[in-house]
Every structure is written in structure tokens, then in C-alpha cells.
Chain A
């Protein structure tokens, strides 16, 4: 049974916003659930875009401190999505207090893993839509994750932030292999995009082969409030997310 297998934690992260992070988190969660993984998507980004895409509103009485303790309060915050095997821990503005909370606790850098292990019986996979900044919470997320996925737009600025994340992993003695990247919002017609992608795929072994295209079906996640493969299964973007999930699953199952 899945019980004796440790729950896998996948986080999708970038310091920079607007790189297709939430779209990746939601679509990957949906695809994992479709593949039979009992999946919990944790929307830790206070903007709450993941929750919005799944049409889920948070409970009014959120108490971050109580949540962090795990147990029945944490479990009661979880909401079932419209899709089989996919549940959500909705976003809440109060998550911005997580940092203060974590700071006061023992083992403040690795407290979060214990929190996730509390869900081991109910889920095979926890996906974190991580907040876009470097804080104690993000460091906790890195330490708690089996895999940190970084969406990168093939532009100079975006690659600069990618280098910053790599440097942070190095500085904090986090295993380099734990962070993997993939190209996001790729526009094939732009030569800069094409050249950058080509260069990095050759030189940086941490990049997945898949490229998520810049596409209007992805933007439609907003008005549709649904994962891309649920309404445009055969679109190139949905297929790219499918490939992204296969590469991700291969790493998680190793």
C-alpha cells in the first residue's frame, strides 16, 4: 500500500513572478492525479492563483500557527477539487506570517517536512505552489522537497534569477540535483529564445528536455478556471505539460 511509501514532495518555485509557475503547479497536479497519484496541491503563494484556477475559496478562519502543527485542523482546511484524486490546501493571506512563525521554532529550516509527513497516509504526492521570494519559508520548502522545479523563461533576466537560485542552493548546502529547471513561456519565433534554449539544454544538465510554449490555451486557464489538459487535451501546450509530468515523475520515482 502507498502507506509505507513516503509521500513525495514536489515544489514549483521561482524568485521571479510571471514565469508560468502556477500554471505548471496546477497542470502538473492535475496530470499526476490523472495518472493515479493521490495528490495534494498546497497553494502557499498568498496571491492564491492556484486556488482560483480550481475555483476554491479558503476558509475564513485560517490560523497559520495551528495549521503548521498539522493534525486535524490542517486536514480540515483541505478541499476536494472537481477532479478525481486532486485535493487542495487553499491559499490564505495569513501565510505571509509563516516566516515569523517558523523563525520562532526549533529546526526552523526543516520544520515543514514534518508537516508534510503528517499527510503521508492520504497522499502519494504533495505539490507546492511556492511563494516567489527567498525567505525562511522558501528555504523550508527546499528542504522539504524531493524535487524543486524551476520554470525559466529563456530571457537574460529570468536566467539571472535562475543562477541566483542555484547559488542559494550551493550556499545553503542543498543538493544541486534536487533543483531542476524547465523552459517556460517559450516563443519559438524569437531567435533569442531559440538560441538560449539550445545553449542551456546542451550545457546545463539540470534542465528538463521539455519546453512549455507561450500559448493562448494556457492563458485561458484564467477565464476557464480549469487545468489546460481538461479543456484542450490535444493542444501542443497540454502535450508539453504531459511531457513535463513524465520527466517529473521519472525523477520522483527514482
Chain B
């Protein structure tokens, strides 16, 4: 509940005159004059801002998380060492680290603004020499490429100390009489710096945010969906090339998969030959990204793996991860070569101009209002899921569940593409229910893939290596653990699937997409009809 009033001033001289004036009426002691550079940070997708925060660090390596709305300081810490922090684990253990971990997860921090703040602090003291009020004369300048470029504000801050409110009140009255009034809604200068630098918070999100008109043609809607995914891919290229964190590639891949799904799920809107060609090229691109992503997933799980092993087997794991890191360097370089190739650039350009310029004769599927296509396509996918899901039992091979996982993903994409065509609450309800099952299937798939990779690593292991024995031992423990985990997850599947067969969910599907969506359920429960 720290209160401070900010009085914006036209320039520095006015501020100094004001302090002098106040000093005549109130005992003031100048305590410090300081200049510091600050850098504000957030992740590429504004995760701190989403949580209502930003991180501010200064050249004394003091970092604090501040709220964007009310401008209050929250968790803080001093960072040891040198260099800018990138991830939550670069911060010393403590509350700031814990909060950053929660907000950022695996995303890296990027500088969003740089500023220089000159601060002249005057304390008002009582007869015990206790500070009862602080006055800060502040000048903030926007910094670009290390150079101050433009003054953002001059201000006088009156900082009220808790329990000494009456002193601040007296001072405010004096300022009132001098005709100076505080800013009505306090705003941190970082907000002004963002504006001055032309940056907009939330200008990137990996979520699909498109609004479709129910009556527009399916082809037009498909173009909007594709352009959105293309934009997401392009926005992530720079971050991939700079290898900032794993999520640039992740978002890029999601956008690419959405494109492939939209191409195959929203049928007949573009000429067949071209659709097939683009599908093929996107899937080649996808294959190029797979090795890097698979290795990223492992490297991110390192701590979890370590925790599963007894102390004496951990060195074996370390050499496993060293191998992985080396593999990743090679895989990453290979992918970057692809991303920089003229082949890739031409392909993206071709796709872009196809979306803008294709004027092939419209087919009935292309001219159909998108709301009809949405209902029909989603109903068909649900029908398939129910048919496949009901046929799965304890003895079904893992592969069947993996196929089902892919089907679920497709539904998820369709609901995201067409979200704006249905009541938001209904879509949210469906997505929430589906997520549970998706998580179960996703976990199962992760475990399966991890098991395969560990097995492969084990079979490729040369017995001549000096660390072969500890490495094999630690891999063995992990493979056994994965098997146990997999069995637990499979038992969760049946329960989660049963929830999708409950009346409330089924009825919602029928109202939104028609009764075809749930038709496989009917012969099993004939009395329900």
C-alpha cells in the first residue's frame, strides 16, 4: 500500500525551485543524487504483462517485479555476477525467482525498453531524525542503443510513508496552494517509454485471435485463418535464428501444423493440385524442425530426470545430456540452414501470394457460408473420435491411442479456427472438457517418444566409452520409470473418455454442430433417444 503522488513538471528548473520553496516551509535533507540506467523486460509473448507485471532491472543489478496497473513494486532481488539474465533460473533462489518461474516458465526475458533515470532524493525528518516523507525529483530519458534519445518526463514524487500520512497531507496542501496538482492515475515511466519507442504490449500471442463472419464464404475464411498462421510463423523466425529460447520454434511449429490441418480439414476451398503441393511442402518443413524440437523437449526435462535418479547414477545422466546438447547443435544448424535457404524463402513467398491472389473458379465448397462448413467439419471429427474412442480398451496397442490423440488435436484446431462463430461460453466449455483428455493422451505420447529415444540411445551406446556403464545404468532406470508412468496414464484414459460421453457434453455438441457429431454413441444407449 505504498502511496506516492507524482507531480509532472515542465522541466528540471521548475522542480528545483519547487524543492527550494518547500524547503523553506518544511525541514528537508538532501540525501542522495543518483543516476541509473534501467532496462524493462518481458518475454516475447508478454507473459509478465499478461500476469499484470513487468521486470525492471538497473545497472546495480537490482531487479524488481512491478505491477502494470497500480505501479507497485513486488518481489525483488539483487543479481550476482555479470551479463543480462535470460531465464528465471538466472536469478538467485527466492521469491523473485519463484514468481518469475511461475510467470515465464521456459520463456526467455527480452529487453522491452531502456531508460535513464536521474533521481534527487530529499527526506523530511522529524525530531528523532526519522524519515517521515520522501521527495524525489526525477528526470527520465528514453535510451536507444545505449544513447539517451529523448526526455520522457520531469516529475516530483511525494512518497508517503505508512503511519506518517499526515505529514504527506501537509505537504500536498502546500503544493495545492502553489498550484501544482498530482497525476490522477499513477503510471510507471516504462509505459511512457514503451509508447515513445513505438512498442505495443500484447503485439504477439501464440493463440489464434481471428474474427470470422458466419456468412462469409469458406474460402475467404480459410484465407484469414492461413494468413494468421503465416504471420505467427514469420514473427517467430528471428527468435529461432537468434536461438533465444525453445518456444520460438515451438510456436512456429504449432502455426505450421495449424496450416497443415486447415489445408486438409477445410476441404475443397482451393484447387486440389495446389492444396496438395502446399501440404506436401509444409510437411517437409515440419520434418526439418522435428529433430531440434525433440531434443529441446529432452533438454527442458533435465531436472525432472535427474530427480528420478539416485545420486550415484547422476553423472551417467550428465554425459547423456552432454551427448544430447551436441546433437542439438548439429540439428539446429541444419534447420537454420534450411530457414536461411532461398528455397524456403521462395516457398513462403509463393504461399503468401497464393493466399492473396488465388482467383481460381469457386467450387460449391468454397462459396458455402463458413458457419455451415464449421458445423459440418467439427461434427464429422467428433463422430470419428467417438467411433474410435469407444473401440479402445485395455488391450489396444499404444498406436491406437496415438491416432486418437491426433484426432483430438484436429478438433482442437477446428474449434480455435471457428471460435468466433459460436457462443464464447460454449466453446470454452468444450475446450476445457477436451483439454483433460488431450493432456492424458499428450502425456502418453511424450512417454512413448521418450522411451523410444532412450532405447535408441542405449542401443547406439558404444561399450568402449569410458562412461558406458554409468550411462547405461541411468538410462535403464529412466526407461523402467517411463514404463510405470505409462501404465498409470493409460488407466486415466478410460475415466476421461467417459466424461465426454456424459449427457451435458453430448447435448451441447448436438445443439452446436448437429446430431451427427454424437451418432456413434446412440446404438450403445438406445434408451436415451
Chain A residues packing against B (C-beta within 8 Å): 1-2, 35-37, 54-57, 76-80, 82, 87, 122, 124, 225
Contacts and interface: CB of A to CB of B under 8 A. Distances in A.
Contacts, number: 42
Given A1-B99, A57-B128, A36 B76 contact: yes
A233 to B, nearest CB: 13
A82 B161 CA distance: 9
Given A1-B74, A79-B163, A122-B1, A36 B130 contact: no
Most buried by A among B95, B129, B161: B95
A56 B131 CA distance: 10
Given A2-B75, A79-B164, A80-B164, A36 B128 contact: no
Interface size class of B (residues with CB under 8 A): 10 to 19
Q: 9 tightest CB-CB pairs across the interface, nearest first?
A: A79-B163, A55-B130, A80-B162, A80-B161, A55-B128, A36-B76, A82-B131, A36-B77, A36-B95
A35 B94 contact: yes
Contacts of B163: 56, 76-80, 87
Nearest to B129: A55
A35 B64 CA distance: 12
A143 B477 CA distance: 44
A79 B73 CA distance: 18
Contact of B94 (A1, A36, A122): A36
29 contacts: A1-B74, A1-B99, A2-B74, A2-B75, A35-B94, A36-B76, A36-B94, A36-B95, A37-B95, A54-B130, A55-B128, A55-B129, A56-B163, A57-B128, A76-B163, A77-B163, A78-B162, A79-B164, A80-B161, A80-B162, A80-B164, A82-B130, A82-B131, A87-B162, A87-B163, A122-B1, A124-B95, A225-B128, A225-B129
Given A2-B95, A87-B163, 5 more contacts: A1-B99, A54-B130, A76-B163, A80-B164, A124-B95
A80 B162 CA distance: 5
A120 B97 CA distance: 20
Nearest to A55: B130
Interface string B151-175: 0000000000111100000000000
B109 interface: no
Chain A interface SS verdict (over half): loop
A92 B319 CA distance: 62
A36 B99 CA distance: 12
B65 to A, nearest CB: 10
Contacts of A77: 163
Contacts of B472: none
Given A2-B75, A55-B128, A82-B131, A36 B162 contact: no
Contacts of A225: 128-129
A112 B74 CA distance: 27
Contacts of A2: 74-75, 95
A122 B72 CA distance: 12
A90 to B, nearest CB: 8
A35 B93 CA distance: 10
Interface string B53-97: 000000000000000000000111100000000000000001110
Contacts of B161: 79-80
B85 to A, nearest CB: 15
Nearest to B76: A36
Nearest to A52: B128
Nearest to B1: A122
A79 B95 contact: no
Nearest to A35: B94
B484 to A, nearest CB: 29
A13 to B, nearest CB: 25
A55 B131 CA distance: 9
B2 to A, nearest CB: 8
Contacts of B76: 36
A117 B74 CA distance: 19
A36 B75 contact: yes
B224 to A, nearest CB: 38
A88 to B, nearest CB: 8
Contacts of A87: 162-163
A124 B77 CA distance: 14
Contacts of B74: 1-2
Contacts of A82: 130-131
B48 to A, nearest CB: 13
A64 B204 CA distance: 54
B164 A36 contact: no
A225 B94 CA distance: 29
A76 B163 CA distance: 7
B160 to A, nearest CB: 9
Contacts of A36: 75-77, 94-96
A80 B168 CA distance: 13
Nearest to B64: A36
Contacts of A1: 74, 99
B161 to A, nearest CB: 4
Contacts of A78: 162-163
Contacts of B1: 122
A56 B164 CA distance: 11
Contact of A79 (B75, B77, B99, B162): B162
Interface string B367-411: 000000000000000000000000000000000000000000000
B95 A56 contact: no
B157 to A, nearest CB: 15
A37 B164 CA distance: 22
A1 B101 CA distance: 11
A202 B161 CA distance: 46
Contacts of B162: 78-80, 87
A232 B284 CA distance: 66
B158 to A, nearest CB: 14
Contacts of B164: 79-80
Nearest to A249: B94
Interface string B119-135: 00000000011110000
A79 B165 CA distance: 10
Nearest to A59: B163
B66 to A, nearest CB: 13
A21 B75 CA distance: 28
A124 B129 CA distance: 28
A82 B339 CA distance: 56
A82 B159 CA distance: 12
A139 B276 CA distance: 78
Nearest to B63: A36
B522 to A, nearest CB: 46
